[in-house]
Amino acid sequence: MNPFRIMFLIFLMVPFLEIYFLLKMGGLIGVFPTVLLVVFTAVLGAWMLRQQGFETWQRFQQGMAKGKVPAMEMLEGPVLLVGGAFLLTPGFFTDITGFICLIPYTRKKLVTYLIERQLVVMAGGGPFQRQGQTQSKDENIIEGEYKKGDE
Model-level pTM?
A: 0.69
Q: How far is CA 110 from CA 101, 141, 149, in A?
A: 8, 36, 53
SS3 content of the chain, % helix, strand, coil (to 5): 70, 0, 30
Q: What pLDDT was estimated at residue 1? A: 73
Q: Is-contact 95 45, C-beta < 8 A?
A: yes
| pLDDT tens digit at each of 151 positions of the chain | 788 888 899 889 999 999 999 999 999 999 999 999 999 999 999 999 999 999 999 999 999 999 888 888 888 999 999 999 898 888 899 999 999 999 999 999 998 888 887 765 555 555 544 444 455 556 777 777 777 777 5
